[in-house]
Chain A
């Protein structure tokens, strides 16, 4: 395998560039895509890099087609992926649902923009519900919400591996700010960090005679009997729950003895951590909890943090009108801590906003 990065090196890139390099480092074979801001440059950089490394690209007629061509390519054993945003994410829910139903190792990058509809081309965290629970299924998906360019690179590599290991559709959930801003990061060969890249494998057209050499490979997205579908959904759910703990990731900051805990995800968690530093310096005991996987959600970990802290209040803050809040409330059902909110749909949140809010509620 041709080395893509070579020696580990520092770089100062946009997030979309970091992701394109991450896809190469993850040994992705082919991107299918349809242009939409703020994801476009992933396609641009991929098409620029692809010929140098023997990779492929196809621009399809729309996002529905981009998603389904990924579904097809994956079944033939190609490590394919796509990237989209906003209304494109809406259109892609149909192929995402197929990937969920057929347990395809589908990896997609979502760069959230403002909504509903075309909304803005800029930024939001309004694609949380759609990415975690979109489609006509049960949300058997894995969603990484990143906060830094380092994470965009790291979780692109990890995301492919997660998809091919567990065979649940896996998403890197970024946003327009992360897509477009420049920030330093370190790029490395996965092998240098002890990361084994999972090789793709065909799901169809396998060697050997069915019945004598191997079991039939029965990939279906439709069933004629209610009971058949019921069994499949329950099996998928059991599989999902059996690997939930090993996939779940989170981070916490100054939660011990915290009296108020801020819950946020993605790029907003950077502001939350800065707010905690300022508040602590002023004698206000604040802490920050950040789910890195929104699906599966770090439920037990959050409950443990609440337990060990001295929390009297929670503040949930996001660049959406309660999409993270709904998940948190569901996941920690039974807790009686008062929950305050700072919702700024489609708008960036900075430490100042959070500091002012905390001071108004304590």
Chain B
């Protein structure tokens, strides 16, 4: 497996860093080389939060990177903030519910993909699992970890909550699966929202 670089960006509280941590944990459990670094500037006090993940079979060098294989911008502000991490090899993902001007999306990327993650979470699942849909989408887009390993890492992280409320487990696993399917579908059908 060649080096895979992923940048996840969103608002504080959206669960960007939690998702990144679970993906990194899953990759580590698959015995891959993994680096996860949050940005931890003053963004914590009301700005865009970015997580940088790298996964590889061989030793990874610098903890950050300039261009990602996949960028997922989970808020409108995050689009501008992460455009710099995209180039012609990048899958650039944003939520299709964002009311944005097409000019705001980066131009030279491999694909721009609008995913209905927020609507799906709100209408079919629960707003709280929005970030887990995104986690599923990351896996669907990049195959950075196996779906089963991702489920195990999710269980490891949230198991204590699942114990008291087993419905949460079903909800989270469903969100993970739907996220993956949304991403796979958009790649397979080439339904890219070029806005």
On whether the beta carbons of A37 and B37 are closer than 8 Å, the reply is no
B25 within 8 Å of A (CB atoms): yes
The residues of A that contact B35 with a CB separation of less than 8 Å are 181-183
On whether the beta carbons of A184 and B62 are closer than 8 Å, the reply is no
CB distance from A215 to the nearest CB of B (A): 51
On whether the beta carbons of B62 and A351 are closer than 8 Å, the reply is yes
On whether the beta carbons of A184 and B28 are closer than 8 Å, the reply is yes
On whether the beta carbons of B38 and A180 are closer than 8 Å, the reply is yes
Query: Can you list, as one digit per residue, whether each of A31-44 has a CB less than 8 Å from chain B (1) or not (0)?
Result: 00000011000000
Binds B, one of A74-82, A159-167, A268-276: A268-276
- Between A and B, 26 residue pairs with Cβ closer than 8 Å are A12-B25, A12-B28, A121-B40, A121-B41, A122-B40, A122-B41, A177-B63, A180-B37, A180-B40, A182-B37, A183-B34, A267-B62, A267-B63, A270-B62, A271-B61, A273-B61, A274-B61, A274-B62, A348-B62, A348-B64, A349-B62, A350-B61, A350-B62, A350-B64, A350-B66, A351-B62
On whether the beta carbons of A351 and B61 are closer than 8 Å, the reply is yes
B130 within 8 Å of A (CB atoms): no
B113 within 8 Å of A (CB atoms): no
Cα distance A350–B63 when bound, in Å? 8
Chain B contact residue count (CB 8 A cutoff)? 21
B39 within 8 Å of A (CB atoms): yes
Assuming the contacts A182-B21, A274-B61, A351-B61, asked whether A122 and B34 have C-beta atoms less than 8 A apart, the reply is: no
Interface residues of B in 53-67 (CB under 8 A from A): 60-66
CB distance from B116 to the nearest CB of A (A): 31
A352 within 8 Å of B (CB atoms): yes
The residues of B that contact A38 with a CB separation of less than 8 Å are 40
Query: Can you list, as one digit per residue, whether each of A215-248 has a CB less than 8 Å from chain B (1) or not (0)?
Result: 0000000000000000000000000000000000
B42 within 8 Å of A (CB atoms): yes
On whether the beta carbons of B39 and A348 are closer than 8 Å, the reply is no
CB distance from A256 to the nearest CB of B (A): 21
Chain B residue nearest to A38 (CB atoms) is B40
Cα distance A352–B61 when bound, in Å? 11
CB distance from A251 to the nearest CB of B (A): 14
Chain A contact residue count (CB 8 A cutoff)? 25
Number of A-B contacts (CB under 8 A): 62
Interface residues of B (CB under 8 A from A): 21, 24-25, 28, 33-42, 60-66
Cα distance A178–B37 when bound, in Å? 9
A129 within 8 Å of B (CB atoms): no
Chain A residue nearest to B64 (CB atoms) is A348
A120 within 8 Å of B (CB atoms): yes
The residues of A that contact B33 with a CB separation of less than 8 Å are 184
Chain A residue nearest to B28 (CB atoms) is A12
Assuming the contacts A270-B61, A274-B62, asked whether A181 and B37 have C-beta atoms less than 8 A apart, the reply is: yes
Cα distance A341–B60 when bound, in Å? 24
CB distance from B43 to the nearest CB of A (A): 10
CB distance from A37 to the nearest CB of B (A): 7
Cα distance A273–B61 when bound, in Å? 8
Interface residues of A in 170-194 (CB under 8 A from B): 176-178, 180-184
The residues of B that contact A273 with a CB separation of less than 8 Å are 61
CB distance from A66 to the nearest CB of B (A): 22
Cα distance A12–B36 when bound, in Å? 10
Assuming the contacts A122-B41, A350-B61, asked whether A182 and B36 have C-beta atoms less than 8 A apart, the reply is: yes
Interface residues of A in 253-311 (CB under 8 A from B): 267-268, 270-271, 273-274
The residues of A that contact B37 with a CB separation of less than 8 Å are 177, 180-182
On whether the beta carbons of B40 and A37 are closer than 8 Å, the reply is yes
On whether the beta carbons of A12 and B24 are closer than 8 Å, the reply is yes
User: Which has the most chain B C-beta neighbours within 10 Å: A180, A183, A349, A350?
Assistant: A183
| Extra 6 A-B pairs, beta carbons < 8 Å, given A12-B24, A180-B37, A183-B34 | A176-B40, A181-B63, A183-B60, A184-B33, A267-B63, A270-B62
CB distance from A347 to the nearest CB of B (A): 9
On whether the beta carbons of B24 and A182 are closer than 8 Å, the reply is yes
The residues of A that contact B41 with a CB separation of less than 8 Å are 120-122
Interface residues of A in 107-159 (CB under 8 A from B): 120-122
Chain A residue nearest to B25 (CB atoms) is A12
Pick the contact of A182 from B34, B39, B40 — CB < 8 Å?
Answer: B34
